Amino acid sequence: MTGNEAALLYLSHADVRRALPMADAIEAMQAAFRQFSEGRVTMPARSSMEIPEANGVVLLMPCYAVGTHRVSLKLLTQFANNGRLGLPLIQAVVVLADAVNGRLLAIMDGSAITALRTGAASGVATRLLASLSADTAAIFGAGVQARTQLEAVCAVRQIKQVRVFDCRRAEAEVFAADMSARLGIPVLVASSASEALAGAQVACTATTSSTPVFEDRDLVAGVHINAVGSWRPQTAEIPPDTVCRAHVFVDHRAAALEEAGDLLMPLQEERITAEHMRAELGDLIANRVAGRQTRDEITLFKSVGLAVQDLFAAARAVENARRLGIGTALT
């Protein structure tokens, strides 16, 4: 890092990855959800602007946390056609400021922050809800989010084998090779969703699918599911039969009732009620509610993503970056 400690810090994608290892990201998310559940976070509703002619959406997510004395703002774009253009689906930037004097502290690659904090939230949920003996994982999707999902699961459980399924087999093969080398465990490409789920005690869905990516009948007893891909009312990765029989936990109840199509569709069909969402993740962290209660029950963590996650991830990344000399001082 060049420049002085008072200068505005810039962290690139690579800088964020170096400054925020998954173990740190998971601890940051645990703190984020705890403070959120304690009412110590100000988090206005996410602003959304559609760009229909480009099949895109722009999101604006501000947040303030009393405990950190920090303010963050994330600008995120998601353009569905970007794959054909050779561009990332999600692009973002996060700005971090001092909540005591308003001084801008850092600007950083928001795509890296988003991927890490989303994976880390599932890491927290897996640590609290998955069977302690879980050693086989199924991953749906082969993109950036799928990678951090697997990385986080492996950080909290002794995973010995992984199967990945994606309708684009070539992408799944790249994912399998990359993640096997990174994690040092076998990552196999499944030919079908049912093959991916065979024996899996942890499953993560991180796709752009608007319809369920597996059949409820293919789940094994006692599986824990992290569902992070769909965040719009009209899209769902998880079969409604699974939602109806699972013990459901969410990142934020109000946001889930606005955005989580996985839950909203069976709600609208009156197959479940809002009380089917047992608790928020922060309630689990604070031990206000029980998590897994039987060996065979299915648990489901549904995440739509919260600005408080960006804030705590960004704050930890900047703290580590300044300590380690990572990043560029902007003058």
User: 3-class secondary structure for 74-135?
Assistant: EEEEEECCHHHHCCCCEEEEEEEEECCCCCEEEEEEHHHHHHHHHHHHHHHHHHHHCCCCCC
User: Do 322 and 216 belong to one domain?
Assistant: no
Q: What is the pLDDT of residue 5?
A: 67
pTM confidence score: 0.94
pLDDT for res 89: 84
Same domain, 289 and 217: yes
Average pLDDT over residues 181-202: 98
User: What are the Cα distances from residue 22, in Å, to 11, 123, 207?
Assistant: 17, 9, 21
Domain shared by 135 and 200, yes or no? yes
Residue 6 predicted with pLDDT over 90: no
Is 121 among the domain residues?
Answer: no
The token duo for 185 is 């465990």
List CB contacts of 260: < 8 A, sequence separation 6 or more: 230, 231, 233, 250, 302, 304
pLDDT at 1 over 60: no
Coil, strand or helix at 1: coil
- pLDDT at position 178: 98
Domain annotation covers residue 1: no
240 and 317: one domain?
Answer: no
Residue 251 pLDDT > 60, yes or no? yes
Shared domain for 34 and 109, answered yes or no, is yes
Task: Let me know if residue 118 belongs to a domain.
Answer: no
Using the predicted structure, report yes or no on whether residue 3 has a pLDDT greater than 60.
no
In a domain, 18, yes or no: yes
Question: What does the pLDDT average to over 176-201?
Answer: 98
Confirm if 279 and 288 have CB atoms less than 8 A apart: yes
pLDDT at 236 over 80: yes
For residues 123 and 83, which has the higher predicted lDDT (pLDDT)? 123
Query: Is 143's pLDDT higher than 80?
Result: yes
Tell me, what's the pLDDT at 232?
A: 84
Question: Which CATH number covers residue 25?
Answer: 3.30.1780.10
Q: Do residue 201 and residue 258 come from a single domain?
A: yes
Query: Average pLDDT, stretch 322-327?
Result: 97
Q: What does the mean pLDDT of the chain come to?
A: 95
Mean pLDDT of 23-41: 97
Q: Is residue 242 part of a domain?
A: yes
> pLDDT band at residue 2, thresholds of 50, 70 and 90?
very low
Asked if 150 and 228 sit in the same domain, the reply is: yes
Q: Identify the domain containing residue 254 by its residue range.
A: 131-305
Please determine, for residue 276, whether its predicted confidence score (pLDDT) is greater than 90. Answer: yes
Q: Is the pLDDT of residue 99 over 60?
A: yes
Q: Is residue 154 part of a domain?
A: yes
Same domain, 166 and 68: no
- The confidence score (pLDDT) of residue 230 equals 86
Task: Examine the domain organization and report whether 23 and 153 are in the same domain.
Answer: no
Find all residues with CB under 8 Å of 185, minimum gap 6, and list them.
154, 159, 160, 161, 162
Mean pLDDT over 162-189 rounds to 97
Expressed in angstroms, the distance from the first to the final Cα of the chain is 13
Instruction: Decide if 2 is inside a domain.
Output: no
Q: For the packed helices 144-156 and 169-183, what is the interaxial angle rounded to 10 degrees?
A: 30
Q: In whole angstroms, how large is the CA radius of gyration of the chain?
A: 19
Q: What's the sign of the alpha-carbon dihedral 182, 187, 191, 194?
A: negative
Query: Residue 83, class by beta-carbon neighbours within 10 Å (0-12 exposed, 13-18 middle, 19+ buried)?
Result: middle
Report the CATH number at residue 215: 3.40.50.720
Share of the chain above pLDDT 70, in %: 98
Instruction: Please classify residue 20 by burial: count the beta carbons closer than 10 Å to its beta carbon, then call 0-12 exposed, 13-18 middle and 19+ buried.
Output: buried
| 312 has pLDDT over 80 | yes
Q: What is the pLDDT of residue 311?
A: 98
Tell me what the mean pLDDT of segment 140-163 comes to. 97
Same domain, 64 and 202: no
User: Domain total for the chain?
Assistant: 2
Residue 125: inside a domain, yes or no? no
Q: Do 195 and 253 reside in the same domain of the chain?
A: yes
Task: Say if residue 244 is in the same domain as residue 266.
Answer: yes
